Chain A
Amino acid sequence: MSADSKFPLSGVLDTAQLNKLTQAISGLSQQQLIWASGYLAGLAQSSDLQAVSCAPEATSNSGPITILYGSQTGNAKHLAVDYSKTLNDAGLTSNVISMLDYKPRKIKDESSLVVFVSTHGEGDAPDDAVELHEFLASKKAPKLANLKYAVVALGDSSYEFFCQTGKDFDERLQKLGGQPLIERLDCDVDYETPVAEWTNKLTEILKASAGAIVTDEIANPQLDPSVSAVEYTKQSPFSATLSEVIKITGRDSIKDIRHVEISLEDSGISYQPGDSLGLWFSNDPSIADKIIASTHNDAGDKVEVTGQQMTLLEALTSKLELTLSYPGFVKAYQAATQDPKLGELLEDRAALRSFLEECQIVDIVQQYPADISPQLLVDALRPITPRLYSIASSQAEVDEEVHLTVAHVAYDAFGFAHQGGASGFLSSRIQSDEQVNVFIEKNDNFRLPSDDDKPIIMVGPGTGIAPFRAFIQERDAREAQGDNWLFFGNPHFTQDFLYQTEWQSYIKSGLLTKATLAFSRDQAEKIYVQDRLLENGKEVFAWLERGAHFYVCGDATKMAKDVESALLTIIKEHGNKSDADAKAYLVALRKAKRYQKDVY
């Protein structure tokens, strides 16, 4: 295989450069080429490239197409980067850029804009989108009469404010005078197919709209820094080996938290502290059986799922989502079964929401048993999606392993035992030495400072401790001199101090400068990490003033908000700032990537 036969490079490199590169890569295997692409990507990243310009210059009559993404877990970013490549392949010019790195006022200069944005928690914008999101709703927002735009909203229909941030962008852009190029796409967790269809349409529209003189130049090979050096992905995961699952809460704990160790041996997979691990799982067959029984079907019934033939039992255990409930299922199930009570429920949003919060799919079906054909049942369910866990290890310490900290969801309801999908799978359905399909989900929005002398403050109650175990392992291996301050909380000191003995040895060795603990139920009044932050406000602010990076990991709905409000209070109080100035201080921290969140 010669390099130029597949990837014509003229226009990016001059002939001499091209020859050198061709010479350098001749004879490399596919794996080596993949490695080299990651290496070059790293180089590109370290030279502080903020926008990846994918074509040499504008070739159309209108301005370049700007693709903005606001991404918490990386999905929106992947889609944006991929789409930029598609457009360039189609001969259009596009710039893809994170909303975090985008100057909001620049939006008045845009003519064509494509937005990929996700929604979190209770309809919240992802961290990198917060500023632009707010700006567009503010009085400072400019008129956008010349703007044509398109929005892809990513979300999860099991949440009440489904795709809310995308809806907000659509509404706000339109209100400011923007013209939609195409109707907004609201995506659920199985977004791949709808996005592919929608972007095809959009590409045609953009071509037409640009009246483009499409050049026959094809873009250079994608030098996207976010692409892992090894090709295991969500679609083609690595079949890893489960090494060990240990319950790390004490025997009297009200929580069941597991430390999980997975071997990545021989995969060549590499990850960085801050990344997440995507983990595929199968459902509990006994739950699938219950669903089959309640719908009066047989385990061996033949069904088709995404074009594949299989038995109903197989589809329910390994292809379809059974633990998270969502309105779409109730709708489709009701349509097929014509259950009047479910019909009423669908009319009452609030009641539906609280019903869904308490029910897994099996509970809905058992409460409203009905005849439904196996194929309609399968069609009513959405595909199973892998779960993402913040990685709790650094490869500098654990080499070809990856560690997770997993809250095992287990409870009794409706007369039988329920478990979480992936946590139940890890904790009770597979054994050590069995296989588990995994992939790395990069998270460039949760990274240690590149300067090892910078202090860091880590706020990670509950399983939010996970990435900080990775951070401290990494700082240890790098012999980083910066101070490290951990805030951790959980119900009880004796039962729930996750990785206690490890933190103790880091304190003893001096690596961990301070550990500030909040055990909420060890005293009459509840104490949480945000309370400890406030108590230590003066020192927290002093750390920020000397350049500390501030990280939060864990619960998004309550904790992360309370921590942020505590942080604002601290900045106000100890920095003698007005509300607005404190907010600006925090925004500046976020923009400098010194305030990062990994919340869920």
Chain B
Amino acid sequence: MSNEQNLVVEGKLSDNERIKRESKLLRGTITEDLSDDITGGFTSDNFQLIRFHGMYQQDDRDIRAERQKQKLEPLHNVMLRARLPGGVITPQQWLVIDKFAKEHTMYGSIRLTTRQTFQFHGVLKPHIKSMHQTLNKTGIDSIATAGDVNRNVLCTSNPIESDVHQQAWQWAAKISEHLLPKTNAYAEVWLDGEKVDSTQEDEPILGTNYLPRKFKTTVVIPPLNDVDVHANDLNFVAIAENGELIGFNVLVGGGLAMTHGDKSTYPRKADDFGFIPLDKTLDVAAAVVSTQRDWGNRVNRKNAKTKYTLERVGVDTFKKEVEKRAGVVFEETRAYEFTERGDRFGWVKGIDDKHHLTLFIENGRILDTEASPIKTGMREIAKIHQGDFRLTANQNLIIAGVPEDQKSAIQDLAEQYGLIHPTVSKQRLDSMACVSLPTCPLAMAEAERYLPDAVTEIEQMLAKYGLPDESIIYRVTGCPNGCGRAMLAEIGLVGKGPNKYNLHIGGNRNGTRIPRMFRENISDVEIMQTLDELIKKWSEERQEGEAFGDYVVRANIVAPVINSAEDFYDASVS
């Protein structure tokens, strides 16, 4: 396998490769499009290029047909995804984004994502530049939060281990900076920065054609696996001794995306390359990225992610190349254990004696409703809060670093504005969906809008079968690209078409087993009937403390996915 010939896939490059190559390092003709006021959208290549600047062109899909009849173009707008390594944002920054969302977005909301950042949805073209300038002034950008680059770097939101978290978070920020595109395009296009000749610029890590596909990185602090390491290309597992971070185990090649009907695609867990000391962190990060840059498949985008590169060249070959490029030898992996993924709601006290309040934000949607004016509540808290906010990988929010004497004031505001829900069930806390319809252009079925009612049904089933205090990790994703991380759930639904889903079961609670498809292409009614039967059986046959996902595997209702490259589609292989 070490034959150089076999490391690169030959063939006609995908069209995205042309777009990147001709983009003048991500500039394209975006500026021309911005001044074209006859359309709210971007023209073909720029439609792709704005992703590298953290935006997706979207439209309200619910009214697309109606508008076509009205001789109006789709209601084009952009979604912006901020770059917020580790999900940390200050109260001052919060006030700025709160104001922008209210004044210049169609929906008026701030959306917290499963990748620890916030998104604005529904920004019209005339407001795009001012949006970037507003964010820039408060120290936030959206560089490389989408597109074929290393995206926002996640970091476990563990408020208790305050010191380790602080160190780990700093590494997340450093990795993010180190792997950013170096082109001046963002500043030029959005911030009216000085024009630079792109032929005089270089991209030493990403390369001037950028990566073959998106690339996701995390820093995780066991025993929490809130960031879902197996959904990511590159993971740094924090290893601490006596409260001091000493290095990382490096996990490479996770990823959940697949394509319906294409068996060369599958979700895959990451491989453990071994331990590295702290001072090698950036070199290893750059080496993994550059190896994937050079060896990743640029012919077929569906097989372009790191996980497929590992399968094609072999894990050892890839690892040796990383060692060569980074000038390291991976040490034996250090022991760690993941025990859970969810956030710990309510107040906890950190070892620094500061208090931290974790709030449940359904679907990550910060928007005022009559019953719960939570957006106003967050604004009021931001006005007095002295610490920071941390967005979690479960779309929730932590008011972190509250001194003792502020605790009651924050608690009062959170209660007053409906940010604390004494009645939220454990099941609801363990449920997740991607945004999907109506805004996501990739969506095939409902996800976020369907989730609240579906969770209610599952709650009723649990109560009916005498398990009111149990929960199942339940995730819905509107298409097989995997934003909702359904492929690491105990019950995962993957959208196929309007009200049609593939039902997967058998993942585990800590996110280290991929669920297997149990029923294909079924409706919401069929899903609930199926789940009702399964939960009934589980309630009758479960062993002490046995989770739903473990039960369905033990009871041979599904075979576990062990090596997804071989057995994801064929249970008999394992």
Please say whether chains A and B are actual partners in one complex. yes
Report whether B72 and A500 are in contact in the complex, using a CB–CB cutoff of 8 Å: yes
Report whether A247 and B40 are in contact in the complex, using a CB–CB cutoff of 8 Å: no
Query: Which residue from A249, A493, A499, A501 sits with its C-beta under 8 Å from B40?
Result: A493
Q: Does A429 contact B (CB under 8 A)?
A: no
Task: Specify which chain B residues have a CB less than 8 angstroms from the CB of A517 in the assembled complex.
Answer: 37-38
Q: Main secondary structure on chain A at its contact with chain B?
A: mixed
Task: Specify which chain B residues have a CB less than 8 angstroms from the CB of A251 in the assembled complex.
Answer: 63, 66
Tell me the smallest distance from the CB of A512 to a CB of chain B, in Å.
9
Roughly how many angstroms separate A453 CA and B547 CA in the complex, as a whole number?
79
Report whether B40 and A494 are in contact in the complex, using a CB–CB cutoff of 8 Å: yes
Tell me the smallest distance from the CB of B104 to a CB of chain A, in Å.
11
Q: Does B73 contact A (CB under 8 A)?
A: yes
Roughly how many angstroms separate A248 CA and B72 CA in the complex, as a whole number?
7
Report whether B124 and A248 are in contact in the complex, using a CB–CB cutoff of 8 Å: no
Q: Does B207 contact A (CB under 8 A)?
A: no
**Nearest CB in chain B to that of A493: its residue:** B40
Report whether A499 and B63 are in contact in the complex, using a CB–CB cutoff of 8 Å: no
Most A CB within 10 A of own CB, among B37, B38, B68:
B38
Q: Does B195 contact A (CB under 8 A)?
A: no
Report whether A507 and B72 are in contact in the complex, using a CB–CB cutoff of 8 Å: no
Roughly how many angstroms separate A246 CA and B68 CA in the complex, as a whole number?
11
Roughly how many angstroms separate A497 CA and B39 CA in the complex, as a whole number?
10
Roughly how many angstroms separate A193 CA and B69 CA in the complex, as a whole number?
45
Query: Which residue from B37, B39, B70, B126 sits with its C-beta under 8 Å from A250?
Result: B70
Query: Which residue from B39, B69, B75, B126 sits with its C-beta under 8 Å from A504?
Result: B39
Task: Specify which chain A residues have a CB less than 8 angstroms from the CB of B66 in the assembled complex.
Answer: 251
Report whether A248 and B70 are in contact in the complex, using a CB–CB cutoff of 8 Å: yes
Which residues from 480 to 506 on chain A have a C-beta closer than 8 Å to any C-beta of chain B? 493-495, 497-504
Q: Does A342 contact B (CB under 8 A)?
A: no
The interface bits of chain B over 256-271 (1 if a CB of A lies within 8 angstroms of the residue's CB, else 0) are 0000000000000000
Task: Specify which chain B residues have a CB less than 8 angstroms from the CB of A501 in the assembled complex.
Answer: 68, 71-73
Query: Which residue from B38, B69, B71, B75 sits with its C-beta under 8 Å from A494?
Result: B75
Tell me the smallest distance from the CB of B327 to a CB of chain A, in Å.
54
Q: Does B67 contact A (CB under 8 A)?
A: yes
Given contacts A493-B37, A493-B40, A504-B39, contact A523 B71 (CB under 8 A): no
Q: Does A370 contact B (CB under 8 A)?
A: no
Which residues from 491 to 544 on chain A have a C-beta closer than 8 Å to any C-beta of chain B? 493-495, 497-504, 507, 515, 517, 522-523
Roughly how many angstroms separate A308 CA and B37 CA in the complex, as a whole number?
57
The interface bits of chain B over 50-87 (1 if a CB of A lies within 8 angstroms of the residue's CB, else 0) are 00000000000001001111111101000000000000
Given contacts A248-B72, A249-B70, contact A503 B63 (CB under 8 A): no
Query: Which residue from B39, B63, B70, B73 sits with its C-beta under 8 Å from A246?
Result: B70
Number of interchain pairs (Cβ within 8 Å): 47
Q: Does A590 contact B (CB under 8 A)?
A: no
Which residues from 125 to 164 on chain B have a C-beta closer than 8 Å to any C-beta of chain A? 126
Size category of the A interface is: 20 to 34
Most A CB within 10 A of own CB, among B37, B40, B75:
B37
Report whether A247 and B37 are in contact in the complex, using a CB–CB cutoff of 8 Å: no
Task: Specify which chain A residues have a CB less than 8 angstroms from the CB of B124 in the assembled complex.
Answer: 493-494
Roughly how many angstroms separate A501 CA and B39 CA in the complex, as a whole number?
9
Task: Specify which chain B residues have a CB less than 8 angstroms from the CB of A493 in the assembled complex.
Answer: 37, 40, 124, 126
Report whether A248 and B38 are in contact in the complex, using a CB–CB cutoff of 8 Å: no
Tell me the smallest distance from the CB of A11 to a CB of chain B, in Å.
56
Task: Specify which chain A residues have a CB less than 8 angstroms from the CB of B75 in the assembled complex.
Answer: 250, 494
Tell me the smallest distance from the CB of B22 to a CB of chain A, in Å.
21
Tell me the smallest distance from the CB of B113 to a CB of chain A, in Å.
25
Task: Specify which chain B residues have a CB less than 8 angstroms from the CB of A249 in the assembled complex.
Answer: 70
**Nearest CB in chain B to that of A507: its residue:** B38
Roughly how many angstroms separate A248 CA and B124 CA in the complex, as a whole number?
20
Roughly how many angstroms separate A248 CA and B126 CA in the complex, as a whole number?
22
Report whether A515 and B38 are in contact in the complex, using a CB–CB cutoff of 8 Å: yes
Given contacts A493-B124, A494-B124, contact A500 B63 (CB under 8 A): no
Roughly how many angstroms separate A181 CA and B66 CA in the complex, as a whole number?
62
Task: Specify which chain A residues have a CB less than 8 angstroms from the CB of B126 in the assembled complex.
Answer: 493, 522-523
Roughly how many angstroms separate A89 CA and B67 CA in the complex, as a whole number?
57
Task: Specify which chain A residues have a CB less than 8 angstroms from the CB of B68 in the assembled complex.
Answer: 501
The interface bits of chain A over 259-302 (1 if a CB of B lies within 8 angstroms of the residue's CB, else 0) are 10000000000000000000000000000000000000000000
Which residues from 535 to 569 on chain B have a C-beta closer than 8 Å to any C-beta of chain A? none
Task: Specify which chain B residues have a CB less than 8 angstroms from the CB of A523 in the assembled complex.
Answer: 126
Roughly how many angstroms separate A416 CA and B68 CA in the complex, as a whole number?
33
Roughly how many angstroms separate A192 CA and B38 CA in the complex, as a whole number?
46
The interface bits of chain A over 110-147 (1 if a CB of B lies within 8 angstroms of the residue's CB, else 0) are 00000000000000000000000000000000000000
Most A CB within 10 A of own CB, among B68, B71, B126:
B71
**Nearest CB in chain A to that of B77: its residue:** A494
Roughly how many angstroms separate A249 CA and B72 CA in the complex, as a whole number?
8
The interface bits of chain A over 318-354 (1 if a CB of B lies within 8 angstroms of the residue's CB, else 0) are 0000000000000000000000000000000000000
Report whether B40 and A250 are in contact in the complex, using a CB–CB cutoff of 8 Å: no
**Nearest CB in chain B to that of A257: its residue:** B70
Report whether B40 and A259 are in contact in the complex, using a CB–CB cutoff of 8 Å: no
Roughly how many angstroms separate A507 CA and B73 CA in the complex, as a whole number?
14
Which residues from 16 to 56 on chain B have a C-beta closer than 8 Å to any C-beta of chain A? 37-40
Give 11 CB contacts A-B under 8 Å. A248-B72, A249-B70, A250-B63, A250-B72, A250-B75, A494-B72, A497-B72, A498-B71, A499-B71, A500-B71, A517-B38
Q: A497-B72, A501-B68, A502-B71 are in contact. List 11 more A-B contacts (CB 8 A).
A: A246-B70, A248-B72, A249-B70, A250-B67, A250-B72, A250-B75, A251-B66, A494-B40, A499-B71, A500-B72, A504-B38
Give the 9 A-B CB pairs with smallest separation, nearest first. Answer: A248-B70, A501-B71, A499-B71, A500-B72, A515-B38, A517-B37, A248-B71, A500-B73, A501-B73
